[in-house]
Structure 1
Amino acid sequence: MPYTPSGFFCDRLIRERERRDGEGSLNKPLRFNGQDFNALRQECLQKKSLFEDDSFPATVESLGFKELGHKSNKVKNIVWKRPKEICENPQFIVGGASRTDICQGDLGDCWLLAAIACLTLNEKLLYRVVPQEQSLSESYAGIFHFQFWRYGDWVDVVIDDRIPTFNNQLVFTKSAERNEFWSALVEKAYAKLHGSYEALKGGNTTEAMEDFTGGVTEFYEMKEAPKELYKIMKKALARGSLMGCSIDSLVPARFETRTVTGLVKGHAYSVTAVEECKPSQHKESKTRLVRLRNPWGQVEWNGSWSDNSKEWATLSKTEKEKLQHQSAEDGEFWMSFEDFRKNYTKIEICNLTPDALEDDKIHKWTVSVNEGRWVRGCSAGGCRNYPDTFWTNPQYRLRLLEEDDDPEDNEVGCTFVVSLMQKNRRKERKMGANLYTIGFAIYEVPKEMHGNKQHMQKDFFLFNSSKARCKAYINLREVTQRFRLSPGEYVIVPSTYEPHQEGEFILRVFSEKRNTSEEIENRIEADHPVPAPASVGEESEEDQQFRTIFQEIAGDVSTGGRGKEEMEITANELKNVLNRVISKHKDLNTEGFSLESCRSMIALMDMDGTGRLNLQEFRHLWNKIKQWQGIFKHYDADQSGSINSYEMRNAVNDAGFRLNNQLYDIISMRYANESMNIDFDSFISCLVRLEAMFRAFQAFDQDGDGTIRLSVLEWLQLTMYA
């Protein structure tokens, strides 16, 4: 659901202030739903009561909205129980967290469980997500907490330990050890973050990997993977990266079905090790192996190097111990790298960022993070196929400052990764939201425009082709790609494939060398040409007509013996004056001005605070309206009586106002109709409001530093009258 302008921008200002205070960092994560784990636990311990989480209650609403909703038979026999009601001697973690602690239940979230399995390979990462010193015995109060990365911030999610069961068995994720519950509680916290358990159904392993690390994921299709893929995987695991892989299912009906080799199509696996061994019969060469894990905790590969295959007999005891070979139906198995490439269709590698592990010196990514949104009718311009609106998308200036230290293939340049992630679509799934098809293009900025932070206009994109772009627009949460370009300035344009699709996103740029990226925000300013009063004898026929009408209407209501020059008109009378003249402009195709518009006009021109306009004030107003009328007619080329909200950006600029994307968003939401068109009355009302607010601000900004301080009274006086 779209935000209201005030709600969204107030929320954004609050978030930015929180970041300045360190909120959302590793050491000071945001409190999800405002819940403070330590305070809540202490309160429960003092009251000797067990925590019950009202924000994610033990009800059907927390289970789901469709397949796990009120009308589903699946939920009728589900009972929420605490671990101590399920088994004797329940433990949070038994003998350390390991891959075998994660076994999939009746929820299609293998993608999440594959990521959790990867997480257990790195203890530092694991305890970032699963804070230590949590127990089902010591200081137990039925409350736990977990931390996830969410769109640029770390958040701390508090839950109670009531878990869905059926016949006293966990319905969803469980451990091979019946009395171990950490993995089930992680899943519950992640479900709370997204609104329900059902919201976790179906996904991509990379999504959870990134939410556990704040990292960035690169995808490789096996058919197109580089020759050095084995080295890439080996290096990735050595530096703590998380890896997942899967086999595409071409036929939906065969989704998640077991093949004759024991592998499952349409299913997510974890890559847990990459090693080399030296079978005795191969004296010279080494065999490259990959270890994988099925989140089901069972169903394994049965080919070469599977648990009980003959190949293991060729290895020494030392080699077997190095590889931790076990013959157990635990979902984990080895296979040769060659078989891995033949059978799997894609692999995903989640590279860590500096904030994933504070003290890990290996990770040297420089990360630039930008939040943005596409607003229908203003900044949701669609892809390059829509040249009339593409340029209105948010734009981000990228500066590549240093070349790589060790360029591959002797090519110079700066290597960087661009990640475009759409926000909140999973959480909004219950309201019918699906993932948009998203992508981005990168344009080189001409040297003469370096340092110029103006939003690139339509003509720039018509006459310049992109320097680089994502391989394809795709309906994933995130689109990521690696590039190498020469040092310089570039513009990144993120967009949905179709125009008019509204949503929020986060754009990140990663590089091992320095880069900077920032949204191109025009400097907010306005020209204020004051039209000179027309001198006697220079009045046009229209001016004379206005004077006559003005005097006629003002004279009818004036009292007190004032002269003609002192006559004044009210908002209602102004409406009559303007509409009598505007009605003669058949090319404007307008129904005229509303009373509210005329009140705003009086507020703009009323210099003496009477709530009325005299002839001089009225003449100034009319000169402005004539100027704005010409701009409107220029963009209303088809004489439909309206201009579209994308053209409004240029029209506002022609009227002398330089605004940023946030303000254009507000204008579209405030003044455009359902078809995202702006009629003449709304157009003039918008410009009147802009002129009035700029003028008021400048009156208060005595020292010209661009900031003012207002009391509540001053703020209300200013906004209520305007």
Structure 2
Amino acid sequence: MPYLYQDSKPRPAAHPGGARGTHSSGKGYEQLKQECLRRGVLFEDSDFPACNSSLFFSENPPIPFVWKRPGDIVKDPKFILGGATRTDICQGDLGDCWLLAAIASLTLNEKTLARVVPLDQNFGPGYAGIFHFQFWQHNEWLDVVIDDRLPTFNGRLVFLHSAELNEFWSALLEKAYAKLNGSYESLKGGSTIEAMEDFTGGIGEMYDVKAAPDNFYEILEKALKRCSMVGCSIDTSSAAESEARTPSGLVKGHAYSVTGIEEVSYRGQQVQLIRIRNPWGQVEWNGPWSDKIDTAAGHPSPKEMAASSLLCLLLRMKFEDFQMHFDKVEICNLTPDALEDSTAHKWEVAIHQGSWVRGATAGGCRNFLETFWTNPQIKLHLTEKDDGQDDCTFIAALMQKGRRKLKKLGAEMLTIGYSIYENPGRDGHLGKDFFRYHPSKARSKTYINLREVSHRFKLPPGDYVLIPTTFEPHQEADFCLRIFSEKKAITEDLDENIAIDLPEPLHPTPSPQETEEEKQFRALFEQISGKDMEISAEELEYVLNAVLKKTKNIKFKNLSLISCRNIISLMDTSGNGKLEFSEFKVFWEKMKKWISIFLQFDFDKSGSMSSYELRGALKAAGYQLNNYLLQLIVLRYSDEQFQIEFDDFLNCLIRLENASRVFQALSVKNKECINLNIGE
């Protein structure tokens, strides 16, 4: 790898709230704002310019949009007018209703809203045409800076807007989120839980209400005690059903928010009630336990429930009615740092970042056994049972990173999932045979092409291994795996520790009697080199290829001149750039071992080896490498079909041995690190 003297790219400034700045200048919101005020100009964001590329990547705008600042649209623009409410969220001509539903849920939680939408922004004194918003992305908070130029047509906002024509926080929030994801078009199509996670840093769960687990009431109860954001909705079977009102007053396709759940005593019986808020506020549940039902129909009036904490809620129903009328529930479980309520029951959280790299760690699902074992492996140690339970509850959420932003390059969401196995007590990477003979203990409910796949599990205390995968092998992506557990769980990458087991270098020694093989080599040497018995890289190329061609069980292609130069650099002890016959004999012993290893892992005897088998082949040669180094080597030495020719395998081993010998020579007392000067 090249030696990096200095990173010339400016590092983004940290935001006072703990979020990392993202502007390419390396400057934070306040610095950019003050510069504009000092110069007397309005901010123009070069990272997300007011042009068509920020709108669409697959087509030109269907109408001529004009980018305008709020002050050019209305006379008295406001950032937030009378508080952030559901009426501030009106959908425009972009298919991002999933985002709108998440923003509507966000308005129900003032503290969470204030983090995403800093409230100290306005169009009054100190206005500089710059605004900022904060989003969670892959285990860190980002501070996204934008200018306030918004796309309009005929003087009106085209996309998300407020019912109050002079209120702009929601339109600016949508623009910041579009910038985060590359363009407005990138926001077409998605799930509400995706945006809820980006607003909170939480883990999402989705439940089919009609097929919910038996303890679904308990799951919702615990979620609300942890201050989780909970949404629910009724499915539509066609576009015509969208926003259709049911006989009970509910609306299909709308996102409702669950805000409370409680078991109350009524007329000598325990009744489970659930509290729901309709962010759109236009219709209301008219079934049992609604405020419109009186005691004459056999239901309680509001006065009878005056002591209940569920009294003054807009929508209120029995839990069994909820299960009958709603189809989907989405839960966004918040991380401890997002919970300011000290009394809230908090999750324990563990996070792992990783990558699927073609040819190395992109093995696909269990259907592809030959490569499945090469996927990243995460060790999970469950130590404590849940309170009053025999098992340990945890949520495993696997997220593919950055795919929405890559839409403009043709990328789509990959189909992802994971499997969980009992760990037999091994510390290193589990091999192919383990998965051949051991079934999974648990797995994600399905493989699906969503940004995140999550599932709740209850397993006995013990050691497990979680395997995150794409469905098909050879698909590349970065991923983030998060584990939320009720009690503390210990997680770590089940990766190999780097270890090198090389024999002491052999020195040329005269043998009392030459073998038949040595006699043949000597004759060939004398024929090519002359009496000095030294050969150059070009001559070595001829010798080796001549010998390998005569070997019947080898289907190698010719070795390259570069390989022969590398061989001489490894074996030349005199430093004259040539190989003596005695040095060649030492190398040939290495060569025979490396040929044997290659043939062992060339399963189809084609003369090439699958790059997914490289881990085992290198280990047989004395090199135990971690995933990171393995990925780099595969990128360097494998072809487009994830195959490694013997010539490349040979070069890889020569490079590894050279590097190992240098490290051993420079290390002091077998330390795991060395200091190098520029000469070294």
TM over 0.5: yes
Q: 1:584 and 1:114, CA in 2 relative to 1: closer, same or farther beyond 3 A?
A: same
CA contact (8 A) 1:124 1:357 kept: no
Counting only pairs closer than 5 Å after superposition, residues 521-600 of structure 1 correspond to structure 2 as 521-529=495-503, 530-531=505-506, 533=508, 535-555=510-530, 564=532, 567-600=533-566
Q: Which residue of 1 aligns with 2:409?
A: 431
Contact 1:443-1:465 at 8 Å conserved across structures? yes
Residues of 2 paired with 1:277 and 1:522: CA distance? Answer: 51
- Which residue, 558, 566, 570 being the options, matches 1:604? 570
How far apart, CA to CA, are the structure 1 residues paired with 2:374 and 2:140?
Answer: 27
Of 473, 487, 497, the match for 1:499: 473
Matches within 5 A, 1:13-162: 27-33=18-24, 34-66=26-58, 69-70=59-60, 72-73=61-62, 76-162=63-149
Check 1:237–1:84 CA distance in 2 against 1; reply closer, same or farther (3 A cut). Answer: farther
Q: Distance in 2 between matches of 1:676 and 1:348?
A: 40
> Could you tell me how far 1:316 is from its partner in structure 2?
4.5
For 1:421, the equivalent position in structure 2 comes to 399
Q: By how many angstroms is 1:274 displaced?
A: 3.2
Structure 1 residue 457 corresponds to structure 2 residue 431: yes
CA contact (8 A) 1:304 1:311 kept: no
Alignment-derived partner of residue 373 in structure 1: 355
Q: Secondary structure at the match of 1:367?
A: strand
What is the SS of the residue equivalent to 2:569?
helix
Structure 1 residue 609, shift from structure 2 partner:
3.1
Distance (whole Å) between structure 1 residues aligned to residue 502 and residue 602 of structure 2: 24
Matched, 1:177 2:160: no
How do 1:479-490 residues align onto structure 2 when only pairs under 5 Å count? 479-490=453-464
Q: Secondary structure at the match of 2:42?
A: coil
CA–CA separation in structure 2 for the residues paired with 1:598 and 1:254: 71
Q: 1:712 to 1:514 in 2, by over 3 A?
A: same
TM-score normalised according to structure 1 size: 0.85
Per-residue deviation, 1:691: 1.1
Could you give the per-residue CA deviations for residues 34-77 of structure 1, whole angstroms, max 9, x where no partner exists? 441111001001011100001011111111223xx32x42xx23
Counterpart residue type for residue 644 of structure 2: I
Q: In the superposition, relative to structure 1, how do residues 709 and 88 fare at CA in structure 2: closer, same or farther (>3 Å)? A: same
> 1:24, 1:153 within 8 Å by CA — same for their partners in 2?
no
Q: For 1:350, which of 328, 332, 343 is the aligned residue?
A: 332
How much has 1:373 moved relative to structure 2?
Answer: 0.9
Residue identity in the other structure for 1:29:
R
Instruction: Answer yes or no: is the 8 Å Cα contact 2:210–2:324 preserved in 1.
Output: no
Partner of 2:615: 649
Give secondary structure in 1 for the equivalent of 2:135: strand
The match for 2:382 among 390, 400, 404 is 400
Q: Is the 8 A contact 1:375 1:500 kept in 2?
A: yes
The corresponding residue for 1:384 is 366
Alignment CA distance shift 1:324-1:201 (3 Å): farther
Counterpart-to-counterpart distance in 2, 1:400 and 1:617: 55
2:260 to 274, 283, 291: 274
* Count of paired positions: 668
Is the 2:19–2:140 contact (alpha carbons within 8 Å) kept by the matching residues of 1? no
**CA 1:400 to 1:498, structure 2 compared with 1: closer, same or farther past 3 Å?**
same
Matched residues in 2 for 1:391 and 1:166: separation?
54
Q: What is the aligned partner in structure 2 of residue 707 from structure 1?
A: 673
C-alpha distance in structure 2 between counterparts of 1:383 and 1:254, whole Å:
38
2:538 maps to amino acid: N
Matches within 5 A, 1:206-285: 206-226=193-213, 229-230=216-217, 232-251=219-238, 254=240, 256=242, 258=244, 260-261=246-247, 265=252, 267=253, 269-274=255-260
Instruction: Kindly state the Cα deviation for residue 228 of structure 1 after the two structures are TM-superposed.
Output: 5.3
Higher helix residue share: 1
Preserved CA contact (<8 Å) 2:232 2:258: no
Letter paired with 1:144? F
1:185-224 alignment to 2 at 5 Å? Answer: 185-224=172-211
Structure 1 315/41 Cα, relative in aligned 2: closer, same or farther at 3 Å? same
Alignment of 1:515 with 2:489, yes or no, is yes
1:317 CA displacement: 11
Q: Distance in 2 between matches of 1:229 and 1:119?
A: 24
- For residue 23 of structure 1, report the CA deviation from its aligned partner: 7.1
Superposition RMSD in Å: 3.2
TM-score, with length taken from structure 2: 0.90
| Alpha-carbon distance in structure 2 between the residues aligned to 1:358 and 1:29 | 21
Distance in 1, Cα, partners of 2:513 & 2:488: 62
Separation in structure 1 between the aligned mates of residue 365 and residue 511 of structure 2, nearest angstrom: 55
- The match for 1:304 is 287
For 1:176 and 1:304, locate their aligned partners in 2 and report how far apart those are by CA, in whole Å.
30
Q: Encode CA deviations 1:127-170: one digit per residue, 9 max, x unaligned.
A: 11112311111311011111111011111111111111222222
Q: Shift in Å at residue 612 of structure 1? A: 2.3
Cα offset, 1:347, TM superposition: 0.3
